[in-house]
Amino acid sequence: MKTLKNLFLDELADMYDAERRIVKALPKLARAATCDDLKGAFRSHLKETEGHVKKLELVFRSFDAKVKGKTCEATVGLLEEGDEIAQDFKGSPAINAALISAAQKVEHYEMASYGCLHEWAGLLGNGEAAGLLQEILNEEKAANESLNELARAGSNEEALGEGLEERPDKRSGNLPRGGRRVGASRNRTGSMSRAHVK
C-alpha cells in the first residue's frame, strides 16, 4: 500500500527534475528578453533555482532517501511552450510580455507543488524538510511577484505595439518604468531558438 511518504518522495523527484530543467532554460529566457530588467530577473532567479536543486537534495537526505529525478512532464510541456512563444514573438513588441507569461506558468506550477510538499513534510513530522521547502516556496512566490511588477511596469504596455510616448505615466509624466519607445534600439543577444530540453 502506497502512503503519503511514497507520494511525497514521488512528487519530490518530480520537482527535482523540474528544477534541473529550469536551470537550463533560464539563461535562454534571459537571452530572449529585450528588457534589461527582465534579463536581470531571469539571471537572478537562475541563482535561486540552482540553490533549489541543492535544497531538494537535502530534503531527500533528511528522509534517508536516494536523490533522484522523475521526468516532470508538466515542466517539459511548459518549457516547450515557452520556447514556442519566444519564437512566435521574437522581434515583436510583445516579446517581453510573452516571456513573462511563459515564466509565470512555470512559477505557478512550482508554487502549487511546493505548497503541497511543504504541507506533507509537516504531516510526516520532518521539520527540516518542511523548512527547506518553505524557503523554496517563498522564493518562487517572490519571483512570481517580480515578474508581475515587470509586466505592469512596461512590458504589457509595450506589447500593445503603440507609441509609448503617447501614453505617459500619469504620476511622473515619463514613460512607464521599463518602457521603451517604439523603434528604439534593442539589445537582442540571443533567443530561445537554441533551447533544447532533454
Where are the chain's structural domains? 4-179
The alpha helices in the chain, defined as continuous H runs, are 4-32, 36-62, 73-89, 95-123, 127-150, 156-159
Predicted local distance difference test score (pLDDT) of residue 161: 87
Q: What is the pLDDT of residues 22-42, one digit of tens each?
A: 999 999 999 999 999 999 999
Model-level pTM greater than 0.75? yes
Q: Domain 4-179 carries which CATH code?
A: 1.20.1260.10
pLDDT in tens, 77-105: 999 999 999 999 999 999 999 999 999 99
